[in-house]
A and B are shown apart, each in its own frame.
Chain A
Amino acid sequence: VKLVYLTRLYRFNAGHRLFHPERDEGWNERVFGKCSTPGGHGHNYALEVTVRGAPDPESGQVCPPGELDRRIEEQVLGPLDHKNLNLVLELRDGPAPTTEVLILELWRRLASRVPPPAALHRLRIVETEKNAVELESR
């Protein structure tokens, strides 16, 4: 099988505050530091979406990039760009919208929505030049 991996880069800007509502200020300060300041703050996020598949013999493409863009727009950019992540994300994997919690949520949203026959292979979120989180399918 000639599997090819195709990666596309998207950007969105959003605010968040890392804060556990059931812990006291001291705990939050110790664990989250300045990410816990009450007014919140924001980042210019970059999202790399990697899909894998054999190039379609008719089009030579793993998946139609425009269709991938449309689904990323619908699932990620539309709902999250210029929003407060604490308010728009369902926090299923942790108390606050860390990059890790965010990537798990995006994986749930995108895993079944990549244009077939391509499959979602990897997500990578770059929060700042120093931080990135990746999640890859087995």
Chain B
Amino acid sequence: VSQAPLFLSRKAAFCASHRYHNPNWSDERNRVVFGPCNNPHGHGHNYVLEVTISGNIDPETGMVLNLRDVDAVIQEEVVSRLDHRYINLEVPEFEQVIPTTENLTLYIWARLEPAFRRAGRKLHRVRLYETPELYAEYLGEDTTAEAAS
């Protein structure tokens, strides 16, 4: 039976600190562009990550993917690396990259996409809430490249 894919979303939370600072800019310019996010000793957030995968229902289980397996992937690839870390100093990928919400979604996608592909499922979207009032989303390259031009 052919079937349109279903979308399954799962949330995970982690707490981390970060600082927005571009070393190629003057202190003054960093302050103007980033405001309090540039304060020297960093600050933190309770991040909420929403991961959406797509796929067909497995007739054996009635599930797109067992949530236990989804949780294990998110824990291994994301939460264990970011939770209770100072991202700028403790996550190697952010030594040269400013850990904005936008760049964190790209990092999370790059870790989760191959992991779910290995499990035979397609990562559809990564949505990362920095606060309840601000989130960034990434759906992979090209998905709406035409719409952007």
Is B134's CB within 8 Å of the partner chain A?
A: yes
Whole-angstrom distance between the alpha carbons of A65 and B33 in the complex? 10
Q: Could you tell me the distance in whole angstroms from the C-beta of A77 to the nearest C-beta in chain B?
A: 13
| A59→B33 contact, CB < 8 A | yes
Q: Could you tell me the distance in whole angstroms from the C-beta of A56 to the nearest C-beta in chain B?
A: 9
| A52→B103 contact, CB < 8 A | no
Q: Please tell me which stretch of B53-61, B64-72, B112-120, B138-146 contacts chain A, meaning at least 4 of its Cβ atoms lie within 8 angstroms of it.
A: B138-146
Is B98's CB within 8 Å of the partner chain A?
A: yes
**Which of A6, A55, A60 has most B Cβ within 10 Å?**
A60
Q: Count of chain B residues with Cβ under 8 Å from any Cβ of A? A: 31
Chain B residues within an 8 Å CB radius of A65 = 134
Known contacts A55-B100, A59-B98, A60-B102; A4 and B147 CB within 8 A of each other: no
Q: Could you tell me the distance in whole angstroms from the C-beta of B104 to the nearest C-beta in chain A?
A: 9
Q: Could you tell me the distance in whole angstroms from the C-beta of B125 to the nearest C-beta in chain A?
A: 9
| B148→A1 contact, CB < 8 A | yes
Contact flags (1/0) for B108-143 with A, using CB distance below 8 Å?
000000000000000000000000111111110111
| A8→B100 contact, CB < 8 A | no
| A4→B106 contact, CB < 8 A | yes
| A137→B147 contact, CB < 8 A | yes
| A8→B134 contact, CB < 8 A | yes
Other-chain contact of B106, A2, A10, A59 (Cβ < 8 Å): A2
| A60→B99 contact, CB < 8 A | yes
Q: Could you tell me the distance in whole angstroms from the C-beta of B135 to the nearest C-beta in chain A?
A: 5
Whole-angstrom distance between the alpha carbons of A6 and B127 in the complex? 9
| A6→B148 contact, CB < 8 A | no
* Chain B residues proximal to chain A, CB less than 8 Å: 20, 22, 24-25, 33-35, 97-103, 105-106, 132-139, 141-145, 147-148
- Given contact pairs A7-B135, A62-B136, A64-B33, enumerate 15 new A-B contacts (beta carbons under 8 Å): A2-B141, A3-B138, A3-B144, A5-B139, A6-B135, A7-B134, A7-B136, A9-B132, A55-B102, A55-B106, A59-B34, A59-B98, A59-B100, A62-B102, A119-B148
27 contacts between A and B (CB under 8 A): A1-B141, A1-B142, A2-B106, A3-B139, A3-B144, A3-B148, A4-B105, A4-B137, A5-B136, A7-B137, A9-B133, A9-B134, A10-B133, A50-B137, A55-B106, A58-B22, A58-B24, A58-B25, A59-B20, A59-B34, A59-B100, A60-B97, A60-B103, A61-B100, A61-B102, A65-B134, A137-B147
